[in-house]
């Protein structure tokens, strides 16, 4: 075994081998994979080997498509058979709600290049002869479904990597990982030590244990999973004989089943409701090629549905039941990327569909390690989407919930209850008493809307029970004044002698003067967005909290801290702190907002003394606060930042001060309705690391000509000169009873040309709205756009100026 390597990959399952192959293909060959046993000694060996392109997140779906397209290449390169059978498949809907969901999947497929087609149950039965069409209301045909040989694929990755120069060391167990003072990693094994620049944790079933070696508690948990294999079935033999083809795959969402042919019989797997975690606290090192005890009682309810939906199963025997463990992150998507605070330590774990996702994970991670960027939008898989709140107990609750809902529909207005409430702010119970309906962002409870006593969300793809109540909240803001909780923003304080110079280089905007704020896009070297913030210059006069204050996307706190910390000067001249729950927030907005603030504070908040984009410390009642005159509602408004111990007092002062002005509470859904009619985008929806500032419409906040050479300037200038490819546009949609939620296709002149990033109903303007990207060539066309919603296309028009306050009179007045 070599003593030094550029990269050590830990784990020889399908994921580790894919990472190794991708690194080697990308040109890094001083790399070694360490496997404690034979390759495929974790989940990989007993997988059912199914693969498909469907994923709730379009970007993960793209990587799944890539994974499937890769098998031919690694087979040819390695000479190792992968056993790929691209049979195609049917996705089955037994309810209308499921069919609506499937139509959304077909629609996304249009811009992802995934060939999906809605078909009738009878047509599905012609393709998959074992199903009873009377049990279904509709189906979708997917040509890119299939199955493969799990061991063959893993060995093909490893052999291909070896051919390219990588090394694989089997029976080499990593026992500890230690960071040296020079930043290199000592990877200590039972056979000696390798010193490496980079370490990749692809430990699969043992990813937690490998993480713990560097003090990291990864949010992954293994679950038991069962599938059965039947005896040979005459129906299968007859079909094979008649058509000369295998029986195709089927996913029966409502039965929570997946099926495919296995030799002369069938394989049927299920994500049962009564699921069972495996080795909750730690995975035993002596586990390897064993199977777990099957428990037919646990899967009996699913099998009953299966026997009804696929009647031929009633007449066959079960040859074998496989029960094996594999790992999940709380939301079921992989954990990929560099780990904040551990330079050179990477993860590629929690991959629950290794044969659909392993290739994409390897590609993204190798790009990231070599180019400094994953090369695709992989937010849905980024390990930084979790923070400290994703504890072992939280993960346990969430993984169980996710497993039991693997095939369940999640409606756009549906909030999942497991593991909540966990993080709350001091006003939580006050807002609950007012009917707050809670959602969650980065672990923190967030009020979505306020419901009367007997009204709750009715889960639906269409406008629902909250519609009129959210409309009322919007009315309150636009006609008098509303108060909302905004603690879920990420807040950062930047201090130190080098703070200004550092921010000037990191952010693409011009730095504001003391007491002023600005919008601050942050770019990567390739000129694309890596963040958007509001930046406040707190000045240096005040003894408390002098320096700079940034507010940004709450869900991206860990993501942005990883970026900030990786760019901090080594000399200690700049300090940055994510304030998290140490700073809570309230916001008031609406034409009467200034009157309310004036009553709540002794500071002069007249327009002259405290104009738009001003920031200052002031007392609200007796509570010391930092107030910024800015509001995401696009109205006259204020963001009020306050230490948690004062949040209740500040809240009560504002509510009392607002009484005469008709103050009311509003939640995140009303805020969405309000920002839409201002054409405001938000991070992780409109603003993502694949768009340039010109494309995203943030170029007006980029100080292309400022003296400091900020990160991404050259590429941003090139984008400005060449015009980029896309444009973000706001659309007015002639929708009927449903509004876009995001990821719908945008049609132009009869072809799919773009995609929706978010939208909803703008209650004040009484307009259904969508934000989305289209090619720049058509971005300013007046007519010809349509947006596909639940299987139908609705006319849409570009709305170039905001429907509300286009002249900024309200906001600046
Ligand atoms: C019953 C069942 C059916 C499934 N069906 C499918 C399916 O149809 N399609 C699909 O895509 N997925 C399926 N899966 C999931 C699939 O198996 C996993 O997604 C995949 O195997 C994950 O691979 P991995 O490389 O991340 O982890 P693993 O396969 O667990 O590999 C991790 C490897 O790391 C090694 N290792 C760990 N720690 C160390 C250490 N300290 N030193 C050295 N080596 C170490 C282990 O020995 C192991 O070989 C199924 C899983 C099960 C259990």
Which CATH number characterizes residue 767's domain? 2.40.30.110
Burial of 79 (0-12, 13-18, 19+ CB in 10 A): exposed
Distance 133 CA to ligand 1 centre (A): 35
Distance 627 CA to ligand 1 centre (A): 50
Atom of ligand 1 nearest to the CA of 50: 8
Question: Residue 541: what pLDDT?
Answer: 53
Task: Express each pLDDT in 648-691 by its tens digit.
Answer: 999 999 999 999 999 999 999 999 999 999 999 999 999 999 99
**Which residues have CB under 6 Å of ligand 1?**
10-16, 34-37, 41-44, 46-51, 173-174, 202-206, 210, 225, 227, 322, 324-326, 349, 351-356
Nearest CA to ligand 1 atom 33: 11
Indicate which CATH number applies to the domain containing 526.
Answer: 3.30.70.1400
Assigned token pair, 53: 């392109």
Contact status, residue 588 vs residue 483, Cβ threshold 8 Å? yes
Q: Is the pLDDT of residue 211 over 70?
A: yes
Q: Is 693 part of any domain?
A: no
Q: Is the pLDDT of residue 307 over 60?
A: yes
Q: Is 541 part of any domain?
A: yes
Indicate which CATH number applies to the domain containing 193.
Answer: 3.50.50.60
Domain boundary among 649, 680, 711: 680
Q: Which of 767, 514, 478 is closest to 637 using CA atoms?
A: 478
Distance between CA atoms of 399 and 456, rounded to whole angstroms? 26
Contacts 24+ apart (CB under 8 A), 231-237: 231/265, 231/316, 231/317, 231/318, 231/319, 232/263, 232/264, 232/265, 233/264, 233/265, 233/266, 233/312, 233/315, 233/316, 235/129, 235/130, 235/312, 236/130, 236/261, 236/264, 236/265, 236/266, 237/264
Question: Residue 542: what pLDDT?
Answer: 45
Indicate which CATH number applies to the domain containing 587.
Answer: 3.30.1360.120
Same domain, 195 and 272: yes
Probe ligand 1: pick from 206, 258, 275, 277, max atoms within 8 Å of CB?
A: 206
Domain boundary among 328, 361, 393: 328
Residue 741 backbone class (left: φ over 0; alpha: ψ -120 to 50; beta: rest) = alpha
SS3 346: strand
Same domain, 518 and 635: no
Distance between CA atoms of 542 and 163, rounded to whole angstroms? 63
Domain span at residue 783 reads 725-812
Task: Express each pLDDT in 15-48 by its tens digit.
Answer: 999 999 999 999 999 999 999 999 999 999 989 9
Assigned token pair, 304: 């009953």
What would you report as the CA-atom Rg of the chain, rounded to the nearest whole angstrom? Answer: 27
| Distance of alpha carbon 428 from the chain centroid | 26
The residues, any chain, with a CB within 8 Å of residue 636's CB and separated by 6 or more, are 589, 590, 591, 593, 594, 810, 811, 813
pLDDT band at 544 (very low <50, low <70, confident <90, very high): very low
Peptide bond into 787 cis (omega under 30): no
Same domain, 300 and 209: yes
End-to-end Cα spacing for the chain? 71
Question: Residue 797: what pLDDT?
Answer: 97
Distance 44 CA to ligand 1 centre (A): 4
Same domain, 105 and 223: yes
Q: Is 116 part of any domain?
A: yes
Nearest CA to ligand 1 atom 25: 13
Probe ligand 1: pick from 13, 68, 351, 383, max atoms within 8 Å of CB?
A: 13
Atom of ligand 1 nearest to the CA of 285: 38
Question: Residue 171: what pLDDT?
Answer: 98
Count other Cβ atoms within 10 Å, centred on residue 523: 25
Burial 718-727 (b: 16+ CB within 10 A, else e): ebbeeebebb
Contact status, residue 329 vs residue 400, Cβ threshold 8 Å? no
Q: Is 383 part of any domain?
A: no
Question: Residue 543: what pLDDT?
Answer: 43
The residues, any chain, with a CB within 8 Å of residue 393's CB and separated by 6 or more, are 419
Among the ranges given (101-115, 203-217, 693-707), the one the predictor scored with the smallest mean pLDDT: 101-115
Instruction: Provide the β-strand partners of residue 795.
Output: 786
Probe ligand 1: pick from 177, 326, 332, max atoms within 8 Å of CB?
A: 326
Atom of ligand 1 nearest to the CA of 226: 1
Q: Is the pLDDT of residue 636 over 70?
A: yes
Atom of ligand 1 nearest to the CA of 324: 53
Assigned token pair, 6: 């550029």
SS3 9: strand
Domain boundary among 578, 594, 626: 578
Give the global pTM: 0.97
Contact status, residue 722 vs residue 807, Cβ threshold 8 Å? no
Contact status, residue 59 vs residue 379, Cβ threshold 8 Å? yes
Distance 150 CA to ligand 1 centre (A): 10
Same domain, 207 and 321: yes
Same domain, 613 and 670: yes
Distance 546 CA to ligand 1 centre (A): 50
Atom of ligand 1 nearest to the CA of 15: 25
Question: Residue 546: what pLDDT?
Answer: 73
Same domain, 27 and 51: yes
Nearest CA to ligand 1 atom 48: 42
Atom of ligand 1 nearest to the CA of 288: 47
Contact status, residue 416 vs residue 430, Cβ threshold 8 Å? no
Question: If you average pLDDT over residues 226-240, what whole number do you get?
Answer: 97
Same domain, 646 and 776: no
Distance between CA atoms of 607 and 629, rounded to whole angstroms? 10
Same domain, 533 and 673: no
Contact status, residue 98 vs residue 254, Cβ threshold 8 Å? yes
Question: Residue 303: what pLDDT?
Answer: 92
Sign of CA dihedral 800, 802, 803, 807: negative
Question: Residue 782: what pLDDT?
Answer: 85
Atom of ligand 1 nearest to the CA of 351: 19
Q: Which of 301, 304, 23 is closest to 162 using CA atoms?
A: 23
Same domain, 479 and 498: no
Distance 377 CA to ligand 1 centre (A): 24
Q: Give the Cα-Cα-Cα angle 114, 338, 50 (nearest 5 degrees).
A: 35
Assigned token pair, 50: 């199914």
Q: Give the Cα-Cα-Cα angle 87, 90, 96 (nearest 5 degrees).
A: 175
Atom of ligand 1 nearest to the CA of 349: 26
Q: Which of 93, 120, 87, 122 is closest to 105 using CA atoms?
A: 93
Q: Which residue has the higher pLDDT, 424 or 55?
A: 424
Q: Is 372 part of any domain?
A: no
Distance 324 CA to ligand 1 centre (A): 10
Question: Residue 86: what pLDDT?
Answer: 93
Distance 279 CA to ligand 1 centre (A): 15
Distance 42 CA to ligand 1 centre (A): 4
Q: Is 210 part of any domain?
A: yes
Q: Which of 349, 423, 345 is closest to 389 using CA atoms?
A: 423
Count other Cβ atoms within 10 Å, centred on residue 729: 24
The residues, any chain, with a CB within 8 Å of residue 64's CB and separated by 6 or more, are 51, 52, 53, 54, 55, 353, 356, 357, 360
Distance 82 CA to ligand 1 centre (A): 16
Q: Is 596 part of any domain?
A: yes
Q: Which of 533, 543, 508, 455 is closest to 692 using CA atoms?
A: 508
Nearest CA to ligand 1 atom 47: 41
Task: Express each pLDDT in 398-412 by its tens digit.
Answer: 999 999 999 999 999
Q: Which of 375, 385, 280, 381 is closest to 327 using CA atoms?
A: 280
Q: Is 375 part of any domain?
A: no
Nearest CA to ligand 1 atom 22: 354
Distance 205 CA to ligand 1 centre (A): 6
Same domain, 571 and 666: no
Probe ligand 1: pick from 8, 10, 11, max atoms within 8 Å of CB?
A: 11
Task: Express each pLDDT in 701-725 by its tens digit.
Answer: 999 999 999 999 999 999 999 999 9
Nearest CA to ligand 1 atom 45: 11
Please count the structural domains in the chain: 4
Question: If you average pLDDT over residues 755-759, what whole number do you get?
Answer: 98
Same domain, 193 and 45: yes
Distance 14 CA to ligand 1 centre (A): 7
Task: Express each pLDDT in 47-90 by its tens digit.
Answer: 999 999 988 888 899 999 999 999 999 999 999 999 999 999 99
């Amino acid at each position: 075994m070599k003593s030094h390597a550029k990269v050590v990959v830990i784990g020889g399952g399908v994921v580790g081998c894919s990472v190794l192959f991708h690194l080697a293909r990308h040109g890094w060959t001083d790399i070694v994979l360490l496997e404690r046993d034979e390759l495929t000694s974790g989940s990989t060996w007993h997988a059912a080997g199914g693969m498909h392109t469907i994923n709730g997140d379009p970007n993960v779906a793209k990587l799944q498509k890539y994974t499937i397209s890769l098998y031919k290449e690694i087979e040819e390169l390695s000479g190792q058979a992968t056993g790929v059978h691209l049979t195609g498949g049917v996705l089955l809907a037994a309810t209308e709600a499921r069919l609506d969901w499937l139509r959304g999947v077909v629609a996304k497929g249009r811009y992802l290049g995934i060939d999906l087609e809605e078909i009738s149950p009878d047509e599905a039965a012609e393709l998959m002869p074992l199903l009873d069409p009377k049990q279904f209301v509709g189906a979708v045909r997917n040509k890119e479904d299939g199955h493969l040989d799990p061991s063959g694929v893993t060995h093909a990755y490893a052999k291909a990597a070896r051919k390219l120069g990588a090394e694989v060391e089997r029976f080499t167990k990593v026992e500890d990982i230690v960071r040296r003072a020079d930043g290199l990693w000592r990877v200590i094994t039972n056979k000696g030590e390798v010193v490496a620049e980079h370490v990749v944790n692809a430990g699969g079933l043992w990813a937690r244990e490998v993480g713990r070696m560097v003090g990291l508690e990864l949010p992954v948990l293994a679950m038991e999973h069962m599938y059965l294999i039947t005896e040979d079935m005459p129906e299968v033999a007859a079909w094979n004989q008649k058509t000369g083809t295998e029986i195709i795959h089927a996913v029966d969402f409502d039965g929570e089943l997946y099926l495919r042919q296995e030799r002369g019989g069938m394989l049927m797997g299920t994500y049962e409701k009564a699921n069972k975690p495996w080795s909750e606290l730690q995975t035993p090192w002596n586990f390897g090629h064993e199977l777990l005890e099957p428990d037919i009682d646990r899967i009996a309810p699913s099998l009953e549905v299966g026997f009804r939906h696929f009647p031929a199963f009633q007449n066959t025997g079960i040859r074998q039941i496989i029960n094996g463990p594999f790992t999940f992150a709380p939301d079921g998507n992989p954990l990929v990327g560099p780990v904040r605070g551990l330079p050179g330590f990477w993860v590629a774990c929690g991959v629950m569909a290794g044969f659909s996702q392993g290739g994409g994970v390897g590609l993204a991670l190798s790009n990231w390690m070599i180019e400094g960027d994953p090369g695709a939008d992989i937010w849905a898989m980024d390990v930084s989407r979790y923070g400290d709140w994703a504890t072992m107990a939280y993960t346990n609750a969430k993984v169980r919930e996710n497993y039991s809902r693997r095939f369940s529909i999640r409606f756009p207005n549906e909030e999942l209850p497991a593991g909540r409430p966990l993080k709350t702010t001091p006003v939580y119970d006050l807002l609950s008493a007012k009917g707050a309906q809670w959602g969650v962002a980065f672990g923190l409870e967030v009020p979505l809307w306020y419901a009367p006593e007997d009204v709750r969300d009715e889960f639906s793809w269409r406008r629902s029970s909250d519609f009129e109540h959210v409309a009322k909240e919007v009315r309150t803001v636009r006609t008098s004044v509303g108060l909302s909780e905004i603690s879920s923003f990420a807040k950062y304080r930047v201090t130190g002698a080098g703070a200004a110079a550092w921010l000037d280089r990191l952010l693409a905007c011009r730095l504001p003067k003391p007491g002023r704020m600005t919008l601050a896009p942050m770019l990567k070297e390739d000129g694309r967005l890596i963040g958007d913030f509001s930046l406040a210059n707190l000045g240096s006069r005040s003894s408390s909290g002098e320096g700079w204050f940034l507010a940004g996307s709450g869900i991206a706190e860990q993501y942005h801290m990883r970026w900030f910390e990786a760019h901090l000067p080594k000399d200690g001249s700049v300090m940055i702190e994510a304030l998290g729950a140490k700073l809570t927030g309230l916001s008031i907005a609406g034409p009467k907002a200034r009157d309310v603030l004036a009553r709540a504070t002794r500071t002069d908040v007249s327009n002259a003394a405290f104009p738009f984009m001003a920031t200052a410390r002031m007392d609200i009642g007796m509570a010391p606060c930092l107030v910024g005159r800015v509001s995401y509602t696009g109205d006259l408004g204020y963001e009020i930042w306050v230490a948690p111990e004062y949040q209740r007092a500040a809240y009560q002062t504002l509510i009392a001060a607002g009484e005469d002005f008709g103050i009311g509470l509003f939640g995140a859904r009303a805020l969405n309705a309000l920002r839409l009619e201002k054409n405001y985008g938000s991070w992780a929806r409109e603003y993502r690391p694949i768009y340039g500032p010109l494309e995203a419409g943030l170029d007006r906040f980029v100080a292309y000509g400022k003296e400091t050479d900020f990160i991404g300037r050259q590429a941003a200038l090139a984008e400005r000169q060449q015009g980029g490819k896309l444009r973000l546009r706001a659309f007015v949609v002639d929708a009927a009873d449903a509004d876009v939620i995001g990821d719908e296709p945008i049609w132009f002149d009869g072809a799919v040309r773009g995609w929706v990033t978010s939208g909803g109903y703008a209650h004040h303007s009484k307009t259904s709205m969508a934000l989305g990207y289209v090619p720049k060539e058509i971005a300013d066309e007046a007519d010809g756009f349509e947006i596909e919603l639940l299987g139908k296309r609705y006319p849409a028009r570009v709305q170039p100026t905001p429907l509300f306050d286009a002249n900024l009179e309200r906001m600046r007045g």
